[in-house]
Structure 1
């Protein structure tokens, strides 16, 4: 068996990826990154080649497909937070011997699906130009609908690796996004009530 097909235990795999055993087990339970099972004792194990794929090492040698680090904040006043995300991504990626081709930082709401840099990135995924996308937390990529975008990337042989660094996901952003959603639905309900009253008045006039 070649070194690249080396079998690693959960503890060895977690150390190789630079994450905790709990995180790796959680990925398995949530089908984010499935482990193999020993037929004798049912214990989890991993192939080193698959871990290299998760880290983007295989794709890093392919100049046709890029490795991207993506970070986002909601407002210009969070530029320090954006820098912290970038620094964390750079540290994580470089520590694993992976060279990112591009670091993308964007300012815009997680509810905005028309962010220019996000649309450009998705277009490049669709064109099979991207091998791997690193984000610190899944809502840095998109607030809702992340599972769809993850599946879309998988269809194009592109991985989204979420580092689950919760400190890069400010609670204030979530509150503001929820307020925006409530405001939109409130306006729609108000509009529906006005429309309903108008119909009612029109019917009364015709009687």
Structure 2
């Protein structure tokens, strides 16, 4: 469902001044809606039409995104897809595209994930369906949801815990520990070298 914006909010979202928006209205370049009390308002659809001229709202797609962490989980990926097919059928969602990806939940540079987010930001997607929040990302789901909402896309979470393998959580946590451990190790080496340079400088 589209959000409603007053003229000032709408102008900020499209990067224009309120006077420019009023001029567009006078020139008939934009459609202006009014509430029962006569107040002017705009919607997410109006924002997309300004930011993406010629864009047809009716062409926005429904995408299901399925992910597992490793190649060894391909059976789990197939089960995830099957479960999502049943979920979408039950919700009466007509799916335009199925995205399958193998990659860790901590990796935000996944090729298919980035393509999905780019499509959301271009206003091309109406709905993204996932089995569980961590299928998109292990952390930061609320921010991704905020970005999607800002561009008129709804993220539907089936919330099927069984499709979020616990061993993936362990793998991701180990990845975090490894990352910080490496950074600490590098910091210790840097500190040791710095102390050596300072000592050598003092000796001179």
TM-score normalised by L of structure 1: 0.69
- CA distances 1:43-79 after superposition (whole Å, capped 9, x unpaired): xxxxxxxxxxxxxxxxxxx641000111100001100
Does 2:129 align with 1:134?
yes
> Partner of 2:138 in structure 1?
143
Structure 2 counterpart of 1:178, from 160, 168, 173:
173
Deviation at 1:96, TM superposition (A): 2.5
Indicate which of 153, 177, 191 corresponds to 1:158.
Answer: 153
Alignment partner of 2:196 out of 182, 196, 201? 201
The Cα of 1:203 is off from its aligned counterpart by: 1.2
Residues 57-109 of structure 1: per-residue CA shift (max 9 Å, x gap)? xxxxx641000111100001100110111111110111232210011110001
Q: Distance in 1 between matches of 2:58 and 2:79?
A: 28
Please tell me whether residue 88 in structure 1 is matched to residue 83 in structure 2. yes
**Match of residue 190 from structure 1:** 185
* Alpha-carbon separation, structure 2, partners of 1:170 and 1:144: 15
Q: How far, CA to CA, are the matches of 2:201 and 2:149 in structure 1?
A: 58
Q: Distance in 2 between matches of 1:104 and 1:187?
A: 33
Return 5+ residue gaps in structure 1 as ranges.
1-61
Q: Which structure 2 residue ranges, 5 or more long, are not aligned?
A: 1-56
Counterpart selection for 2:162 from 167, 177, 180 = 167
What SS is found at the alignment partner of 2:59? coil
- Structure with max Cα Rg: 2
Correspondences of 1:1-207 after superposition (within 5 Å)? 63-207=58-202
Where 1:125 maps in the other structure, the secondary structure is: helix
| Distance in structure 2 (CA, Å) of the matches to 1:67 and 1:206 | 64
Cα distance in 2 for residues equivalent to 1:198 and 1:96: 61
Alignment root-mean-square deviation, CA: 1.0
Misfit runs of 4+, over 3 Å: none
The alignment partner of 1:89 has SS state of helix
Give the TM-score, by structure 2 length. 0.70
